[in-house]
Amino acid sequence: MAEELAFARKASGLVRGLSMWDAFAVGFMFVVFGIRIFAKVQKVVMVFGIGGCAIIGIALTVTSRASFMVKWDAWVTANHSADLIYSKFPAVVAKAASVPIIPITWNWADTLGVMVAMSWLFAYAYSISFIAGEVKRPDKTIIMSNLFAILVPAAFMLWIGAAMYHSIGFQFLSASGYADNNGIDAIANLPWSTHFVGLAAVMAGGSAFGKFISAIMGLSYVAFTLWWIALSYLAFPRILFAWGMDRMGPKWFTDINPRFASPVKNHLLCFVLGEALLALYFFKFNSTMQNITVTGMQITSVFAVTALAAVLFPYMKRSKGVWDSSPYKTWRFLGLPMVVWGGAVNLVYLALLMYEFVFKKAAGAFTTGSTILFGLVWVLGIIWYFFWKQRSRSVGVDVSMTYGELPPE
Amino acid sequence: MSKLFFVTDIHGSNVCYRKFLNALPIYGADVAVLMGDLTGKVLVPLVEKGNDTWECTLMGQHRDVTTKDELADIKKIIENAGYYWVHQTREEFEDTRSDPAKIDALFKSLVFTRVQEWLDLADERLEGKPFQMYMCPGNDDWFVIDDMIDNAKLVHPCDKRVVQIDNHEMVTSSASNPTPWDTPREMSEEDLETHYRGLVSQIKNQETAIYNFHVPPHGYSLDLCPKLDENLTMAAEEKIHAGSIGAKKVIEEYQPLLGTFGHIHESRGAQKAGRTLLINPGSEYSEGILKGVIIILDKKKVKDYVFTSG
């Protein structure tokens, strides 16, 4: 039985790995050959995805705790896991997790830990910045999009969080979260994991209508994932393209293929690198490459720098003209421009996240290997910068001057 | 080897023009080319309210100006964005507003005054300096501006003629294909192609030539702009090629070394058309940012190029 279980887990892992590669390949195809199609598809996905989330929210809201307990017990019993009934599940998970008991109410440490997941709320606003040049009236659209990119997911998360607290209960929720994140053997017989979509599917029940609702919820998750991968993929070659334009990378990063009107060579490089890194992540350096080297890298290299820029922006002499002509100059709170508040709040939040990463081992895999990798990426980045700066200087171009502020008088 | 600094479409922005002049020693350019459009697009009347106070509408916002310092600041913002300001009493404002001919005359006089100020400033700044500066209009610019550039002391005109830049002949055209705005230098595609052919036929060595056309060639990534609807509102998702078919034909046929273009502000980039390197540095004049490109020209090739943003 143990061998069969191990084989099943390996096979399931391989399928997950292949799915990642497939999804990445779909993202590549969209970006290189079908950005117009993607532009149309993404609207459908967005409606479908938000609709699916709404169904999940409704399922969680209308189900009482008693009803969930009955449905859960019936579901686990039908799947040969009677020892996982509602009253026993937290204890089984606590045993697997080697902790005396799953917490029965909230605490600050875990709440701050959850902020790692919350950071993805900012990811949507982050995506908007990559497509900022391609929207109508960016002066209005970007501001509104950033605002709604936070408000809409936040509203959904508050709603779904409150509904789960009500219908599932804190302790069971903690246990199901642990079981889903860590894939414990005890839930191996269950047909799907105990994530929030899975719990909502249990509530929807096994009737034809319940299965239909579950399918919608599951498909919305898959559709959103594909959309997210394509969007993330869009960002990667754009960064390389910008490097090429700024002479901080080879010129061919910017070579436009006349047939597809896109930098196909650049996209192919990103595709190959992306697939190779996925393989490394999946098969070799899973714990080393997650959290600190991905989200931690984003925090230090992108979000924190942007937040700091937002705090300083209204007071910088070099950007005075831009700030003076901004329609948002008059948006103030307690005497300070709103952009300063936004940047400051973001910096505090990012500092909390980094604290969780560095000092709370439970929040992520902050291992020696991941620290070395984190440092290595920074060092390679710095070497890359100075190499290309020197190379450009050798042909007569000083890149530090070409993007510096010119004297305006 | 020479270093060419190319900038286009600053549309009346004082700050961009001053940055352009200041950039020459900073970037170490040997030759600078400022291509049109030189003309701005907006006139902002500063209407007197009495007791040293004024009001105006700027970028869609009504503003009350209550001190002379504030007035000086707002004039600077207007000039830096490429707009023009004029002091008016309420009566003058109402009188001008109701008469399109008066608006036109006032606008033109402000445009010409600014171009003349620019040329005078260049004379002042370039005196005794080793840089060569060329200037040419764009399709938005009235023909009077050609005469002003022709009469400048240190700024050299280059429109509709071939000039020598080191080892390279550069031919320039300020004309454009038809636009939705019916600007002064528009031609039908057929006439434009004939015009281009007439110009490039004056070049002795196409292999080292530079085509400095205001409008980029049609169908490349340098001429993509948002599609406009019947109200001239930009479509968010649909982009169209707005470049010249005539320019495309001439470039693909003669294959010069380099093509420098403007006109489509949002299509900053570089692309190859056969052996020809096509470059549009784009424009963000309204933000006070000087977009440009430095091109390192070797005897028979483009050694390198880098886009600038200052």
Confirm if B248 and B203 have CB atoms less than 8 A apart: no
In tens, the pLDDT along A207-259 reads 888 888 888 888 887 777 777 777 777 778 888 988 888 888 998 898 888 77
Using an 8 Å CB-CB cutoff, list residues of chain A that contact chain B: 39, 133, 135-136, 245-247, 251, 254-256, 258, 261, 321-322, 324-325, 327, 392, 395-399, 401-409
Does residue A38 register a pLDDT over 80? no
Question: What is d(CA A38, CA A256) in angstroms, rounded to the nearest whole number?
Answer: 20
Question: B281 near B293, Cβ under 8 Å?
Answer: yes
Per-residue tens of pLDDT for chain B, all 310 residues = 889 999 999 999 999 999 999 999 988 899 999 998 999 989 999 999 888 899 998 877 888 989 888 899 899 888 888 899 999 999 999 999 889 999 999 999 999 999 999 999 999 999 988 889 999 999 999 999 999 999 999 999 999 999 999 889 999 999 999 998 889 999 999 999 999 999 999 999 999 999 999 999 999 889 988 777 777 676 656 678 999 999 999 999 999 999 999 999 988 888 889 999 999 999 999 888 899 999 999 989 998 888 888 8
Which of chain A's residues have a Cβ under 8 Å away from the Cβ of B287?
321-322, 325
CA distance A297 to A311: 21
Do B215 and B162 lie in one domain? The reply is yes
- Domain check: are B142 and B237 in the same one? yes
Distances, alpha carbon A197 to alpha carbons A53, A182, A192, B52, B67, in Å? 9, 17, 10, 66, 61
* B50 and B162, same domain (yes or no): no
Helix%, strand%, coil% for chain A, nearest 5: 80, 0, 20
Is the Cα dihedral B78, B84, B88, B91 positive or negative?
A: negative
pLDDT, chain B, mean: 92
Number of domains in chain B: 2
Pairs of residues, one from chain A and one from chain B, whose beta carbons lie less than 8 Å apart: 92
Q: What is the pLDDT of residues A6-23, one digit of tens each?
A: 554 555 555 555 566 676
- Report the residue of chain B nearest A402, measured CA to CA: B308
Chain B interface mutation, best of A254, A397, A403, A409, highest count of B Cβ atoms under 10 Å? A397
Kindly report the nearest CA distance between residue B300 and chain A, in angstroms. 16
Return the residue of B nearest to A135 by Cα.
Answer: B236
Which residues, in sequence order, are CB contacts of B285 under 8 Å at separation 6+? Answer: B9, B10, B11, B12, B13, B16, B81, B82, B265
Q: Which of A136, A398, A407 has the CB atom closest to B234's CB atom?
A: A136
pLDDT at A116: 58
DSSP string, A68-84: HHHHHHHHHHHTT-GGG
Q: What is the CATH number of the domain that holds B57?
A: 3.30.420
Boundary residue ending a domain (B59, B87, B105): B105
**B148 close to B39: Cβ distance less than 8 angstroms:** no
Q: What letter represents residue B73's amino acid?
A: D
What type of residue is A40? K
Say yes or no: B38 and B62 in one domain: no
Same domain, B90 and B125: no
Q: Tokens 């006139």 sit at which residue?
A: B43
pLDDT band per the 50, 70, 90 thresholds, residue A1 = very low
Task: Give Cα separations from A56 to A51, A65, A69 (angstroms).
Answer: 9, 16, 17
Which residues are within 8 A (CB) of A33 and not within 5 positions of it... i.e. 6 or more apart?
A260
How many Å separate Cα A307 from the centre of its chain? Answer: 18
- Which CATH number do you get for residue B13? 3.60.21.10
Domain check: are B119 and B79 in the same one? no
**Residue burial A293-305, b: 16+ Cβ < 10 Å; e: rest:** bebbbbbbeebbe
| pLDDT tens digits for range B216-237 | 999 988 998 877 777 767 665 6
> What is the per-residue pLDDT for B141?
95
Q: Do B138 and B156 sit in the same domain of this protein? A: yes
Instruction: Tell me if B59 and A325 make a contact (CB, 8 A cut-off).
Output: yes
> The sheet that has B2-8: what strands, in order across it?
B155-157, B132-136, B31-35, B2-8, B291-297, B302-309
The CA distance from B101 to the nearest CA of chain A, in Å, is 30
pLDDT at B226: 79
Say yes or no for a CB contact (<8 Å) between B287 and A261: no
Do A258 and A397 meet the contact criterion of CB atoms below 8 Å apart?
no
The letter for the amino acid at A204 is A
List Cβ neighbours of B225 (8 Å cut-off, separation of 6 or more). B239, B240, B242, B264, B266, B267
Mean pLDDT of A274-288: 80
Q: How many helices (H) and strands (E) does chain B have?
A: 7, 18
Cβ atoms B172, B200 nearer than 8 A = no
**Cβ-based neighbour number of residue A179 at 10 Å:** 24
Q: Are residues B299 and B184 in the same domain?
A: yes
Whether A325 and B3 lie within 8 Å, measured CB to CB? no
Distance separating alpha carbons of residues A131 and A246, to the nearest angstrom: 19
A340-394 tens-digit pLDDT: 998 999 898 888 877 777 776 555 556 777 788 888 888 999 999 999 999 888 8
Interface ipTM > 0.85: no
Q: B190 and B98 in one domain?
A: no
Give the range of the structural domain holding residue B77, as residue numbers without chain letter. Answer: 43-105
